[in-house]
Amino acid sequence: MNHRSTALDSLRGLAVFLMLIFHFTYDLWLFGHVSTSMKDGFWFALPRLIVFIFLWCVGAALELTHGRVIKWPSFWKRWLKLMAIALLITAVTYFTFPRSWIYFGTIHCIATVSLLALPFMKFRWARFPVFVAILFGQYGLNYDIVWMGSFFSHQSMDFIPAYPWFWVVLLGLMTGPWLLQRWHPEPNPVLDFLGRHALKIYLVHQALFYALFSLLAWWQKR
């Protein structure tokens, strides 16, 4: 494995590790085992940091894998896998959590921004202007695009809109190769494992946590 892929695995692994901490704590809160607020301070910032790392890695990986010539078979194979997982998440949460099912979560966002990034693989000059425009529109003018969340009466358990988060993907496209050529982290078996299996862990970890705490709640009521 080269330094670039090792660095990306480490970054993805870090995001997965932080995600496990956040969701474990969130489920503790959901089942009433902790009283800390999950909507402000550290616990408000942490999931946004996690999404930032994941989406930066999306941009960096696209640039490192494809560059100026998109390898279409490998791109579509991964994109179809992401879409299948996104639809599965929507279907499962629709029947399991009918009041908060996920209609556009992290995986939905990654699949969408991967498509949005394709024109910027060829028109590289447009990356920085669009990056600046998104930041200025969202955080300077407080301009929000109406998203599908407006069409549903409930709040999704996980909602990561492609706008404004696409700016992070553009940042990954622009800075990924530069950073990963200069950063050569020492191998970390834990982070490397988490990074290589990030998608699988993302798919199953919440189900395992929820089952664990449901079992604990059942045991306490005996």
Least confident of 89-93, 118-122, 147-151, 211-215: 147-151
Q: Supply the pLDDT for residue 205.
A: 95
- Nearest CA to 3 among 184, 178, 173? 184
Q: Supply the pLDDT for residue 15.
A: 98
* Under 8 Å between Cβ of 109 and 48: no
Domain boundaries, the chain: 3-220
The tokens describing 79, both together, are 């994109």
Is the pLDDT reported for residue 180 higher than 80? yes
Task: Give the integer Cα–Cα distance in Å for 91 and 196.
Answer: 26
- For 43-91, the pLDDT digits (tens) are 999 999 999 999 999 999 999 999 889 999 999 999 999 999 999 999 9
36 vs 158, higher pLDDT? 158
Place of tokens 């969130």: 26
| Local confidence band at 149 (pLDDT 50, 70, 90 cut-offs) | low
